[in-house]
Amino acid sequence: MNSRMIKHRIEYLLTCVLGAIARLVPYRLALLLGSSLGWLAFDILRVRRKVTLINLKNSLGLRKDRLTKIARRAYRNFGKSMVEYSLFPSLSKQKVFNLVEFEGTEHFDEALKRGRGAVLVAGHFGSWELMGAALSQKGYPIDFLVGEQHNLLVDDLMNEYRKSMGIGIIKMGAAAKGVIRSLKNNRLVAMLSDQDAGRDGTLVRFFGRPASTPKGPAAFALKMDVPIIMGFIIREDKKKQRIKIEKPIYMERTSHKEEDIKKLTQAYTSVLEEYIRKYPDHWFWPHRRWKSTTDLYPPAN
């Protein structure tokens, strides 16, 4: 067994153990565990701390002390979200509904009445996995388009968690056929579209700077004549998190395919930016979002 396999097995075992602990303790204590892991990652291990602070400074332009506070809260929120994800095997429908409230789901109803499904675009924002699980438990037919993690053991575990909540899985390698089939079956296809897409992306403005963004959501929406619907989950000072579904974004195709994709991508990216500006501690800042268009980042850690 090589060092990589050993590392992956250790990661898998740690993930299983942390998940088991989270499912054994009360929900509030589980959230505290997640928050503590986020603090550990930011303040002690300093995982991508520099990248996070660079992104925040270039996006929000606040004082360093304020940026550090936002970053720390973002890591804590991410830790909470991952713990909530690990709770899936133990969550009943009622337990899910005890954690969230819904706003704007009539926009899904409107889209599904057309019989063609819709593309649900989300970001690494808040407890996005819990949002997908809650929508599935509410009765919406939903499939996730997922990439493959380097650690295949953890990847399989993540997908099993999703399936336990009634979420369908479309692997990235079979994206075209899977997404088209899902939309033809009048389902919602959820895609995360807020990470750097390299040379394959389309350039849109994001926090005032060009950012390479995946073409997939816009390309599928235009090809299948379905709307893009944005979804967000917000952790406020309430007992329940709020799932907010935005109005559908419709766009007619023209003869300029790439320009259509760019315009539609810009439309939903601008909505995402609005939410991040309002809730900056909800987004996943450690990602090198602008790495294709800037040279500001330190070497990967």
Summarised one tens digit per residue, pLDDT across range 124-138 is 999 999 999 999 999
Return the pLDDT at 297: 83
- Domain with residue 89: its CATH number is 3.40.1130
Q: Is 275 among the domain residues?
A: yes
Give the model confidence (pLDDT) of 55-108 as tens digits: 999 999 999 999 999 999 999 999 999 999 999 999 999 999 999 999 999 999
Structural domain range at position 237: 3-282
Taking the C-alpha atoms of residue 77 and residue 81, their distance in angstroms, rounded to an integer, is 6
User: How much of the chain is helix, strand and coil, in % rounded to 5?
Assistant: 55, 15, 30
What is the number of residues in the chain? Answer: 301
CB 249 within 8 A of CB 267: yes
Number of domains in the chain: 1
Q: Is 296 among the domain residues?
A: no
Q: Is 162 among the domain residues?
A: yes
Q: Is 46 among the domain residues?
A: yes
Q: Does residue 18 have a pLDDT over 80?
A: yes
| Residue 92: DSSP 8-state | -
Return the pLDDT at 301: 54
pTM of the model: 0.95
Of 74, 29, 66, nearest to 47 by C-alpha is 74
Taking the C-alpha atoms of residue 107 and residue 120, their distance in angstroms, rounded to an integer, is 11
Taking the C-alpha atoms of residue 277 and residue 3, their distance in angstroms, rounded to an integer, is 42
CB 248 within 8 A of CB 111: yes
Of 94, 39, 96, nearest to 71 by C-alpha is 39
